[in-house]
A = this chain, B = another copy of it.
Amino acid sequence: MGERRESKKRETRQRISDVATELFFARGFDAVTLDEIAAAASVSKMTVFNYFARKEDLMLDRQDDLKLLFFREAIRARPQGQSPIAELRVLMGKLREQKHPFAHFDRHAADFWRFVVASPSLEARLRELNDEAAEGLAIELAGPTPDGLARLAAGMIVLTVRTAREEAVRVFERGGSAKKANAVFFALIDQGFAAVQAMAATDARGQSP
């Protein structure tokens, strides 16, 4: 594959994505049609589908892969003897200290998430991505064919992150500060992760005494 071709593809993809994002924020996700996006990006509708399989992916593309990526990395690099869930708690603590964008809520992030939730189809796609992330995490926790407990733990972790995010956004909606929102976020994360960690540990004791 030639270099020039690839850069052009990246360019086209980026242009479509930019144009779409702009239109979406200006007029709402559901009010913008794919034909409009295609026209505004000077491509055909088919080309849009070429780069983004679904309309929703124009906004959520790679939104949730990110989460999984961080988790995977942390789990793989954890010190000997450390349980994966415990390591995820450590990771969240680090991200908090660094005010890392993935785990830091400002007004901009709140706007983004409120925008997503305002559209049923975007929210539906988000749920789907969450499920995919959970399955990926389960595999990370327990290998290629995770058992029920690993799936449950992974699902709970993803659910905790999601719920914590939702609550953080709610803080903004009630006029709270970014500081307060982040406090709420990490409080919930910690409670959820701790519960999952305890569940996994209980099982390990129960299975092999």
Mask: chain A, 155-193; 1 = CB below 8 Å from B; 0 = not: 110011011101100100000000000001001100110
Q: Which of A123-169 touch B at CB < 8 Å?
A: 124, 127-128, 131, 147-149, 151-152, 155-156, 159-160, 162-164, 166-167
Number of chain A interface residues as a range: 20 to 34
Q: Give the residues in chain B near A163, CB-CB below 8 Å.
A: 148, 151-152, 155
Q: A196 within 8 Å of B by Cβ?
A: yes
Mask: chain A, 190-206; 1 = CB below 8 Å from B; 0 = not: 01101110110011000
Q: Give the residues in chain B near A152, CB-CB below 8 Å.
A: 159-160, 163-164, 188, 191-192
Nearest CB of B to A159, in Å:
5
Q: Which residues of A contact B (CB under 8 A)?
A: 124, 127-128, 131, 147-149, 151-152, 155-156, 159-160, 162-164, 166-167, 170, 184, 187-188, 191-192, 194-196, 198-199, 202-203
Please give 10 more A-B residue pairs, beta carbons under 8 A apart, in addition to A124-B124, A148-B166, A191-B202: A148-B167, A148-B188, A151-B166, A152-B160, A156-B195, A191-B199, A191-B203, A194-B202, A195-B202, A198-B198
